[in-house]
Amino acid sequence: MRELLTGNEAVARGAYEYGITVAAAYPGTPSTEILENIAPYDEIYAEWSPNEKVALEVALGAAFAGARSLAAMKHVGLNVAADPMFTSAYTGVNGAFIIVTADDPGMHSSQDEQDNRYYAKFAKIPMLEPSDSQECKEFVGEAVSISEEFDTPVILRLTTRISHSKSLVELGTRENVSMRPYRRNAHKYVTTPGNARVLRVRLEERLKKLKEYSEKSPLNHIEWGDKMIGIITSGIAYQYAREVMGDSASYLKLGMTYPLPDELIKEFASQVEEVYVVEELEPYLEEHLKALGIKCHGKDLIPIVGELNPEIVARGFLGKEPETIKVSIKPAARPPLMCPGCPHRGVFFALSGKDAVITGDIGCYTLGSQEPLSAMDTTICMGASVSNGHGFQKAFEKNGINKKVFSVIGDSTFFHSGMTGLLDIAYNKGNSTLIILDNRITAMTGQQENPGTGYTLKGEPTFQADLAKICNAMGIERVREVNSLDLEQVEAAIDEAMNTTDPMVIIAKAPCALLKREKQPEGKSRIDVDICQQCGLCLQLGCPAIYRDENDNIIIDEYQCNGCTLCQQVCEFDAIETTM
């Protein structure tokens, strides 16, 4: 039977069919749907971990125990998980261990572009790159085999277009495998320097065997066509090259891109007139070919920045613009905005008028940096808001500058990597203020559970972490909990923070406006145009439901309004009423 699946769905299906029994992840686009589609399988224990490092360590522990396991994350998540990943290359595994990284060329939903193929080479871990959904499923099986045969973790690298595009997948049945027996082996699993030095040598011996495997593996194969042009490629770039060049070129399709098959590459290059490399992002393959002494074209023709597509490949290699259908419609500009009724809006509105530095974090609330709120100075990575804010405050303090510093972070991101920053503030006598935007869900990636929601990935009720108690336990005595949708409460807490020299945490609580299981505001807000003074203060909230009509009157779109009443609270002329 065949089904139309995305790459992420196919990886999940592969996890089921090839006997994975433990899977862990932290949600992050474009990888999120892998665990969401694994969770329904009763045969697999699946969890949202607090962050990617924990997810990798959970899956690695399961592999040590003898189970087949998988950890999934987006590309920047692998930065968080890199510490245990590098050492796992030394220890090896027991049961199979697969690390899925989903890169995001073009930064559709990321703070940077990075090419995680270099991680495989850096960590000396074999890497597979599927080019469609069928391969996504099958490569899970290949990764399982390689992992168990060579006693190594295996990286499965997807990109956004592979993760989210659909193609037909042949479904199979589950391979029920028993756990491999666990045997205590400190020389293998305890990486004291004495053991690690031995493991380091074994790692190089393993790589030699993996390189031999790569030379012969059907994952790397030649597709002969016209030999005037030879294209070396992998992943989604293979599909683009095929679509543009068809049979007018020959292809070396690389499914295993670390270690690379040098002899196969040389053989292919020797039989074609000119060699071209088609790859997204960095010149990973191109650099390797040039190190082998093979002349080739690559990034001299194809951009190093952004996501590829067939048009870009055609423009680069054929030097002509492909025929496309022109349309006269100009899409309306839609700057990213927080949703109508978003509980974060009031907090940023209250912060926007303050003489303070506001360090931000990764999540929906990053949109607080957008006009008209413009209430954010920095955004770097998960958890950085807290430590960045502490750094700002210490620099100001050391240089005699009296300026307040706020950090804003979501509940899930606080659990991910904000907690250690807060501990640093308490330990090192900081006095910045952290605002935890607690909307009861991981909203930015599509509403996944986290330790504060009270539910597991499989929907089971569980322990619910108490943010206030955690902050108290970490050494912060001044902790205030406020309703995000009550501006008076929010402003009072922020004013208190402006006037204290104590470290402080404000927990601004209200459910995500899209979260159906939580009680949401009711009613609709309406502006009385006869009372409205057209001051535009309500527009400063940046709510998509509030706009000026063709007569320049300020209007609230009742279909978008969810009755949060923030606009009513900011109106100084009582021109807005909210009806049930």
Residue numbers belonging to the annotated binding site for [4Fe-4S] cluster: 532, 535, 538, 543, 561, 564, 567, 571
Give the β-pairing of 250-254 and 220-223.
Answer: antiparallel
In contact, 114 and 381? CB cutoff 8 Å: no
Instruction: Give CA–CA dist 98/452, Å, rounded.
Output: 28
Other CB atoms within a 10 A radius of the CB of residue 19 amount to 21
Of residues 254, 367, 242, 375, the one with CA closest to residue 308:
242
Q: And the tokens for 31?
A: 């990888």
Bridge partner list, 48: 25
CA–CA distances in Å: residue 87 to residues 23, 79, 94, 124: 19, 14, 15, 10
Contacts of residue 187, defined as CB under 8 A and 6 or more positions apart, other chains included, come to: 195, 198
Q: How many CA atoms lie within 13 A of 437 on its CB side?
A: 30
Amino acid letter for position 362:
I
- Residue positions counted in the chain: 580
Give the distance, in angstroms, between the CA of residue 302 and the centroid of all CA atoms in the same chain: 26
The three-state (H, E, C) secondary structure of 269-337, written as one string: HHCCCEEEEECCCCCHHHHHHHHCCCCCECCCCCCCCCCCCHHHHHHHHHCCCCCCCCCCCCCCCCCCC
In contact, 425 and 460? CB cutoff 8 Å: no
Binding residues, by number, are: 532, 535, 538, 543, 561, 564, 567, 571
Q: How many CA atoms lie within 13 A of 217 on its CB side?
A: 26
